Structure formats: C-alpha cells, structure tokens
Structure 1
Amino acid sequence: MTSLTTTLPLILSLLTYYASTLQAYSIDYYVPSTSPKSTTKVMNIIDSCWRKNSNWATNRRALADCAVGFGKNAMGGKYGATYVVTNPSDDPVNPKPGTLRYGVIQTKPLWIIFAKDMVITLKNELIMNSFKTIDGRGTKVEIAYGPCITIQGVSHVIIHGISIHDCKPGKPGLVRSTPMHVGHRRGSDGDAIDVFASSNIWIDHCFLSRCSDGLIDVIHASTAITISNNYFSNHDKVMLFGHDDHYTQDKVMRVTVVFNRFGSGLVQRMPRVRLGYAHIANNKYDGWNMYAIGGSANPTIFSEGNYFVALNSPNAKQITKREVKSGYKDWKWRSSKDKYVNGAYFVQSGWGSCAPLYSPAQSFSVAQGSMVPALTSEAGLLRCTINKLC
C-alpha cells in the first residue's frame, strides 16, 4: 500500500506532463475516415482547426478563425456574401461579373470561391480591396503567365489554396481598384503577391514559384501578416520584408512565417528582413544556394523550431546573411529549437529577449525543429473534395 501511495502520484504527474507536451507542440492526430487502412496523420495547429471537418465546403468561413501569429485577426470576407468566379478572363478597366477581378474590387466583404478549375492570366496587376477572401479549396486555380496580385493600402485579406507562378511585370496603364475608381498604374515588378502599406493579411496553403521578381514582398509599413503552410520552389529572391534600408516606417512591420516548406531550387531571401520583426517558426528548408534568412538595417529575427537542411555545396551551409560588413553585432538574430542537418548553421547576434510578444489570441506553441517534416508535410496546395476530409 505504501508503494502504491508513493508511485501513483508520480505516474499521474508523468501522464499530465506528456499530455501537456503534446498540446504545446500543437499536434493533432486523427484517422481519416476516407482511408481504407488505419493511418495516422499529423497536423499543425492551423490545419487541425478546420481540416478535420468533412463539411468544410458548407462552412468555409470557419477558416478565418484558424490563423495564428501576427495575422491572426485577418478576417477576409468572413462576414460577407459568397461570390463565385465562373469566368477566367480578365479586363483591368471594366471587369465582367463572374471574373476574379470583378469580385476583389468590390467595396463590400466577399468570400470568393471558384466554380471550376481554371488558369487565370491577368492582363495587368490584380488590385485587391479590403475584406476579401480568395478561397481555392475544391478546385485547382492558377494565377499565372501575367501580372499577379497587389495588396495595397487595404486590410483584412485572406488568400488560400491558389497556385501563383510565372508572374510577369505589369505594364503602365489603367487598372480599376473599386467599382468607382480607375487609376493609372506605373507597372508592377512581377511579384506573385505584393503587400504594400496593408495590414491584417493571411496567405495560407498556396504554391508559389518562378516569378519575375519576388514571391511575396511585404513593404511600406505593412504589418500584422501571417504567411503559413505555403510551398515555395524554383526561385531566386523568395520573400522581402521591408522597402529599403532608409524607409524607417517599416519598423512597425510584424510578420509570422510558419509551417511553410521552402523546397528545391531556391537561392535566397527566405526571408530577407529590413527594420521590422519576423518570427520564423516550424518551417522546413530543403536547401539554399546563397542563404536562407538575411537582412539589413537592424531587423529583429527570431528563428524558432525550424528544420534546416543544407545543400552539399560548402558555400551553402550558413543559414544567415547580414547585408552589411560591420555594425551588426547588436542586431537581435536568435535561434531556438532549430534542427540543423548536413552542416547547416545559424549565426546569432545581439542580447536580451526577442520573443514575438503575441497577444493571447495570436500566440501558439512552437514544436522542436525535429518535428517539422511532419508538421509541413502537406504544405502547399491541398486536394480538397466536397463532403470529404480535406
């Protein structure tokens, strides 16, 4: 009896510890009902929020409650009507009802979905309006071979489940940004997604590749951004956070980069950060030809629980690059819980805490880097079928 009295509290204590550890790692295990065999799937906290529900197509707006990090409050078109894209054509000045451009320029909130698979080749950059969700689940939607997406001077935008690739620069000309306003644009750079002077933006489960400029740029005092569950491949300058070293307004920038897969054929800027703050957590890096995480102008970078696999080249082992020759020893660049493979290494600097200081709603627990291959195994486009688990 004495032995049982002594050991039982210890056993209960251990069970409580392991249960809390699994919860802290934000893992969700389940057996898909559509599988012919019993298989266990590991999901990150964002995916487990909505993907376990086979009725996702009748409750699409539940997605808006699933972001974490600085972009947690991005609501997109959660409180708006559903708009269905039926026509892949594009007219930058007078867009037709049923086209993507017609939907994204509306002033009212909209949850935008697609009637069928389509490739949309835009004739000029797509100007987003506030409170819009572009939701590609259940279809295969590509925005490609022309100018791509500009999010400028707006807020509350969600882009989910879209393939954005082979984007080209936009030409100077007229582009409609609202039903009432057509303005002259000077031409876009050829980014997949350009976030300019905007806030509360969430980009999730997209595929991005092979664009003329960057894949995602966050500039001109944009903030409250989450970039999650995306798959990046075959590109040089992947992500730029901050306009230039002298644009001090970018000090307000706060970006969360989480659960992404940085695939093969990437060179640099995963991301490159200027002046602002980036929390880079639980991402998988499949190599880099120059560097993975870089910056200039004293940004704060917290790399937490990432999985870095260096290429075999001896010149592609260091993860970090400061874009200056001196004066960076005080910059707060920290690594915690990261996993290094094949000689990868992170050069830290600075002192004092660089925790993201999330609000309680934004906060999430970050897993050890060794768990990242499972947490990012379904980054990029999901093949979602109506009435089935996604």
Structure 2
Amino acid sequence: MDSKFTRGTADVKKLIGRRFTDKSVQSDMKMWPFQVIDHPGDDEANRPVIIISDKRVIRYFSPEEISAMILREMKQIAEAYLGTTVRNAVITVPAYFNDSQRQATKEAGMIAGLNVQKIINEPTAAAYAYGLCKAITSGNPNKNVLVFDLGRRTCDVSSICIKKDVLVVESVAGDTHLGGDDFNNKMVTHFAEVFKRKHDIDITGNSKALAKLRKSAEIAKRRLSNMLEVPIEIHRLFDGIHFSSTITRAKFEHLNNEMFRKCIYLVDKCLTDAKMEISDVHDVVLVGGSTRIPRIQELLQEFFNGKQLCKQINPDETVVYGAAVYGAFLAGGTQTIGTVKIGDYPLEIQANAGGNVVLNITVIYGGCCVESISAISLLHHKAWQTFPFSCKYSECLSDNDVFMYIALPLCHV
C-alpha cells in the first residue's frame, strides 16, 4: 500500500472550498503525509478529495465531510455539557476566506446537522470577545483594531474599523506557513546539529528521531515563555543513544529572529494596505497560542510605541469566546451594560438572567478584559444579583471611569 495512505488527516482548512488545481493546494500537498487527489466524478471535477485507509479499506472524503466530523463531535460535546439539543451555530473563518470557502464551511455545518446562523471572520470574533464593538466613545465615532493571530501553522493580521457598532475588515495580511510549528522546526534543526557534533551521527534522515526532537522542541518552546533556560532530555533518541542539552530563551529568539521579524512585517503591510498610521490603531488584540512568546509581544509593543496589548483572554480561546458572545447576541441572551461607574470599592456589577442559571461575566475596561467571573449561579428568589470584582488597574482609575460587562448565560441549573 502507498506510504501516503494514512488513517489521519490535518489542515483541512487549507483545502475546504478550494480547487484541486489551485497553486496553494498543489504546494501544500507535497508537505502532507496523507494523499489528496482530484475528485474522480465528472460532476465534481477539480475538487480535492482526501484518501483515508481504515482497516485496509480505502475511503474518500471531501474537506467538507472531514470538517463536518469535527463540527459533529463539537456538537455532541456541547449537548453533553448543556444537557439539551444544540441546533444553531456561529462558525468563524479566516478573514481571507473567499465566498467559495465560506459556502463550503456552511455546507460542512449543515452536514453536521447544524443550522449555521452566521459565518463571521475570526478577527471580528476576537473583537467581540474583548467587547471592542461597544467600546466607542462619543468623541471618537470610529475605532481601529488590529488583530494579530499567530497560531501553530499560520500568521494572520487583520485591520478592523468599527463604525457605529458595525465591524468592517479593512485589510488582511498573512502567511500560511509561519507559526509555532516553524519555530519548532528551527529548534529541531539546532538540536540535530548538536547531536551530530557530539556523536558524529546525522539523524536528519530518521523520521522517528526527528519526531522525538519535535515533541521536545514543542515542550521547550512553551516553557521558554515563562523560563529563561530549559533542559532537553530524550531517552534513546537514536540507536540507543541518550540525548541531553539545554536551550535558552535568547538562543530560541536568535534561531527564530528572522521569522519573528516577518510577523512584524505582516503587521506593517496590513496597516499600509488599510492606509493607516501606527497612531490610528486604538487596540491590538492577540490571538493564537504562539502570541504567548515574550519576544513576539515585545516586538509588537515596540512597533506600536509601547501600547498595551489586549491579551487577558486565553489566546487559544479568544475567537471561540467571541463567537459564543455573538451567538448569544443573535439569540437575545446577553446583557451589555456600559454605565458601571467607578467610585466606591469594592467594585460591583449586577446581572439579571431571568432565572436560575450559570453565567460567565466578562468585565471590560478600555477595550481590555480585566476580569472573568465564571460559573455564578443566580438564586431562585432573586431576579438581580450583585457580583464584586477586582481590577489590577485600580490605581489608574478615576471616579468617572466606566466599565462594561457582558453577561453570557452558559446553562440552566
């Protein structure tokens, strides 16, 4: 059987809604361990199909079918958690998705048994997560937000202009081959060279050894976000030889300096395409796990002249949280209060869920999440309940400052 036949697949987002002959598809196919072919049917010609082998049976799946499997699994997880049937959904897609890709994503939702109420851009969802869609002062009717999304495989930068609560994506820039995996690969190459110097053995052709290095590199990268030096220990890396080494944060930054600079170039390109100056940007929102890298944050702050970054929400969950908030808006299930004045401490907010429910309350100040209060059960005998919260920016506040909060019902109890 062909070595490319496999029981797994990945990167379906790069295939959905595209043609088999697209240059990006042809280029990515060379890097994937699974096989992609042109659809054999005449009616579906020029559509990519993924080959999956399952117990010696070869099966063919469209990208929409694979995406539907993921959505169906998420639907089941949500139903198990909520204890009720989930029918409606809001799905996020990259801002650069064209109409064909968006329609294909909607079809995947339908295959999964979902009523897709809205397809929204990922940067738009990120803005909703931080409440930036409502954080416009009367003196400044327009608000410009830059969303920097650096994940495992891609770097996407989007410029959003908010005009009277309407979010418009002004420009996008990105690289589909710039992300956490690429940073890992630099470390893998470095460790392979260290191993060769120590033992005079080249392991770059051994996939098993490289897989072990790649796993250790991923762990080291994450730990370097909080540590200055990380030890590497791999038992029996190759031919029974144990491998030990260390990598410092400075070395990691040196190895990936060129790619880090490319991220900032994409930010500059996005602003140029939107015809914006650095001073025109009011907020910078971080999305994606790779934005935890300290050097990335330092470069962004340097580029924006020391501006504070919106990073209080878990960057892995920012987009999905924003989609949930937007979905609650569509269902009429959220409350947004913009007149919570600061003066007396401790700070307090009030929420009315109209019954006995669990709320997730996000408190927002200046476009940034300053507190997230989860799993608060409203009492049966109270329609309104007061919740205290803290703010690490308290010393910077004045009596006239205003907070906003979003109360998002999670489930009934």
TM-score by length of 1: 0.27
When normalised by structure 2's length, the TM-score is: 0.26
State which structure, 1 or 2, has the greater radius of gyration over its C-alpha atoms: 2
Answer 1 or 2: which has greater helix percent: 2
